[in-house]
Amino acid sequence: MTLSEAPTTSPALVTTALEKSYHSTEPPTRVLNGIDLAVRQGEFLAVMGASGSGKSTLLYCISGMDRPTAGNVRLGDLDLTELSDRDMSRTRLTKMGFIFQQAYFLSNFNLRDNILLPALKAQPKERAEVEARVDAMLQRFGIAHVADHGITQVSGGQLQRASICRALATKPAVLFADEPTGALNSSMTLDVLDALTGVHRDGTTIMMVTHDPACAARADRVVYLRDGLLVDELDLGTWHQADTSRRDGELLSWLRDHDF
């Protein structure tokens, strides 16, 4: 079975024979070995794999933050590998959102300004609308009361929820998340997962890299990466609170099959 054939609705994101090698090492390190992957419109996809399997590299190559060595990436009708740096940046700004393991924020700005920044850049003429949208999100994710705080004055969970706000502020077509709960304790992790699930319910396509089964269990589908190749996938269907233990069991058993 070709993994890319899984989607039943039109794909939001497709990679074909994606390869990435790093030439700074001797001999060069081949991290991605020809990845064929399709993510459906509105799908929540989790990418799992052991450390060093190429999960984060896959995410960076797809989002244009790293240039693939070969193969291509399509976002809707757009071939991302053909784009100039400028157009790729524009695409990242208007069509993609990012959540990282570490909360990457600018320390010279308060939380709200950090969230406003990409949205204002995308829609500089519609400041009032952008601000209203951001303020509504701050309310929704429960961080409105720390909006004018510096980034060193808030908790990790609040920062990660601010990351989600920032990623959504530009109304992206795809949300990328790289180990979004990797630096959080269990209660904060739950907060962030609930937030992501909520965003998915609103129809946002999400591609998440994680090695935490609890996170992956929230996804519609999980793919497994080993040595730069997609080797398997597991369709979990849409997440429901009541269904948690069945999904967890199914996922853990699948992971055991991959010696995870």
Dihedral pair phi/psi, residue 222, rounded to 5°: -125, 130
Strands 70-75 and 78-79: antiparallel
Is the CB of 48 or the CB of 116 nearer to other proteins?
A: 116
* Strand, helix or coil for residue 65: coil
User: x/- string (CB under 8 A) for other proteins, residues 83-122?
Assistant: --xx-xxxxxxx-x-x-x---xxxxxxx-xx--xxx-xxx
Number of residues that bind other proteins (CB under 8 A): 43
183: contact with other proteins by CB under 8 A: no
Instruction: Give, as ranges, the residues between 235 and 254 that touch other proteins (CB under 8 A).
Output: none
Per rule CB under 8 A, is residue 189 in the interface with other proteins?
no
Question: Using CA atoms, how far apart are residues 19 and 57, in angstroms rounded to an integer?
Answer: 10
17 vs 106, which CB is nearer to other proteins? 106
Q: Does 66 bind other proteins (CB under 8 A)?
A: yes
Give dist(CA 58, CA 177) in Å, integer: 12
- Please give the span between the terminal C-alpha atoms of the chain, in angstroms, as a whole number: 22
For position 149 contacting other proteins by CB under 8 A, the verdict is yes
Amino acid at 197: T
Closer of 163 and 254 to other proteins (Cβ) = 163
CB 77 → other proteins: shortest distance, Å? 19
3-class DSSP assignment, residue 208: strand
* Sequence-ordered strand ranges (E) for the chain: 11-22, 29-40, 44-49, 70-75, 78-79, 96-99, 174-178, 205-209, 221-226, 229-235
For residue 55, state whether it binds other proteins (rule: CB under 8 A). Answer: no
The residues of the shown chain that bind other proteins, judged by CB under 8 A, are: 56-57, 60, 63, 65-66, 85-86, 88-94, 96, 98, 100, 104-110, 112-113, 116-118, 120-122, 124-125, 127, 148-150, 152-153, 166, 170
